[in-house]
Structure 1
């Protein structure tokens, strides 16, 4: 990979506004995991970390600023609209329909042309994250049955919007100006990435169907919970978290050679889902004495 122009670097990764945000949030999540599940601190700091990380059924404390978990839908409305706009801009730049990359102005991105990069990789990943946003919006609107008791806190709500807004600028930050990159051609990494993405998306969607059917067709009432069965639940407590991380693995397979910053997105998702997954896993074990002991948290056979 050629050196990036016009940026300071930290651990080989360019210092951009989105990257600083990814690093800061990930560090906080690592500290949170240590306090919540290693040190097991029930002091003021430990309780604060639990409040800001836990949500839904695993949430152990509430306050007046909490919001209904069904407000997740708001993220995906924004993500669908925003990523669709970013996708249109990226395609327009790559096919020469425009030279105006408004993302560079909004996020103060600089020209960092990577001679090893290509346009097709950026476009493929941009399509993937847009499809994922649309799928999640559909699931929130037409599949999921949210408990009226399930809550998220206001910080999680705000972060959800920030998260989806900084994905696209992170993706293109090391491949500017996009219009000057070679178009490229389909490579083995593209095929592998697409196959992993499709498999992960299926697992993710199937898991949400299982959750919903427990309340739609099963004996679990809308505001109650049960032990989910079937699919990847045979191996882990949170297969949707495993699938979500796999989705970002799939995208990294495609752009790892030209976007070191995308590693930050994957590491963030791995740490974030480890936090959320451990919270849910321990909740299941506390709530259901006969909970299957062979289930891992969210990575089959590993964690």
Structure 2
């Protein structure tokens, strides 16, 4: 078999798999296992310092036995904004293609079809209605555009760093989420479809209300966090205090709780979209692990930290 034939065979095999879905499953497994080890078994299972340094970031960053190689693979935490710049471009292109397919009733652009073939699979079949897919994409776009605004004009970032792996995950998350959402939408598999306001149902309304609630909680929580760091003295920006107000009275990370709420809201809108179920599980796992680390850092740092507060879910966890 020639090298070209081998290459074509490998490429054909990759096209058979849904790469975006596989990516989220890999992220889910890695983050779940890593977070569980760090948060719940660290005292029982000695973890390598380089692993802790790569996994933890921000105020929770591992500061002992610093590995030089891992340090070189770190980028400024304020680069979080890059996630939402690239995500905004991705979701805008996706929205334009959705408009062409559902409103203008134009055939799907061939180049966009190839992109979906590569990022998901050529063997796509609809599992949701066009109305559900369009509404789900609008809610995802609203989340991304709002987070871009918050990162540019509200958030006050510390001078900390994050591992380049976290940086890569942030970029690929939104690209994969948008592609996976549309991969199971009618009209994106070569068939004809349209949307209609009359097709809106009870679950669409409930899912949208839940998303709006998540938008509101996250925005308010981020504003409260930013207010704690808005100080002329740069050194004061690195000082951490106990957040107060809003949902901070019941959980340590209401902004992470809100992130989960938004994705659950979109899941309710999409309902039968199995791919989005995996995305939601990944987001939930990621937010829980980071929230638990934050919560334990607060408890360790502040002796008077309220005992009634939970990490992410009010009265539960």
Provide the TM-score with structure 2 as the length reference.
0.84
RMSD: 2.2
Separation in structure 2 between the aligned mates of residue 39 and residue 216 of structure 1, nearest angstrom: 36
- The answer (yes or no) to whether the contact 2:116–2:122 under 8 Å persists in 1 is no
Q: 1:93 to 1:46 in 2, by over 3 A?
A: farther
Partner of 1:77: 85
Distance 2:221 2:255 in 1: 6
Within 5 Å, which residues of 2 pair with 1:1-303?
A: 15-40=17-42, 45=47, 47-61=49-63, 63-95=71-103, 96-100=105-109, 102-108=111-117, 109-114=121-126, 117-148=128-159, 150-178=160-188, 179-181=191-193, 183-184=195-196, 185-216=199-230, 221-257=236-272, 259-303=273-317
Whichever structure has more helix as a proportion of its residues is 2
Give me the whole-angstrom Cα distance separating, in 1, the residues matched to 2:181 and 2:43: 37
Does the CA contact (< 8 Å) of 1:241 and 1:273 recur in 2? Answer: yes
The question of whether the paired residues in 2 share the 8 Å contact of 1:53 and 1:276 is answered with no
Residues 218 and 239 of structure 1: is their aligned pair in 2 closer, same or farther, counting only changes over 3 Å?
Answer: farther
CA distance in 2: counterparts of 1:102 and 1:302, whole angstroms? 47
CA-to-aligned-CA distance 1:43-86 (integer Å, 9 cap, x gap)? 67454543333221111246232221111011111111111111
4+ residue stretches of structure 1 with deviation over 6 A?
217-220
Work out whether residues 125 and 183 of structure 2, in 8 Å CA contact, stay in contact via their aligned partners in 1: no
Number of residue equivalences: 287
Deviation string 1:73-115 (CA, Å, 9 cap, x unpaired) is 111111111111111111211221343254431242324333x
Q: Give the Å deviation of 1:42.
A: 7.9
Structure 1, unmatched stretches of 5+, are 1-13
2-structure distance, mates of 1:201, 1:85 = 22
Q: What secondary structure is seen at the aligned counterpart in 2 of 1:92?
A: helix
Taking a change above 3 Å as real, the CA distance of residues 188 and 102 of structure 1, as seen in their structure-2 partners, is farther
Q: Distance in 2 between matches of 1:175 and 1:81?
A: 20
- Alpha-carbon spacing, 1:134–1:81, altered in 2? closer, same or farther (3 Å): same
TM-score, with normalisation over the residues of structure 1?
A: 0.88
SS in 2 for 1:292: coil
**What secondary structure does 1:180 align onto?**
coil
SS at match of 2:237: coil
Q: Which moved more, 1:63-72 or 1:99-108?
A: 99-108
Q: Which moved more, 1:119-128 or 1:62-71?
A: 62-71
- 1:170-229: CA deviation from partner (whole Å, max 9, x where unpaired): 102223533524535111111101111111100000001000111227999211111100
Question: Higher mean Cα deviation, 60-69 or 222-231?
Answer: 60-69
What CA distance in whole angstroms lies between the structure 2 residues aligned with 1:236 and 1:134? 25
1:237: Cα distance to partner? 0.3
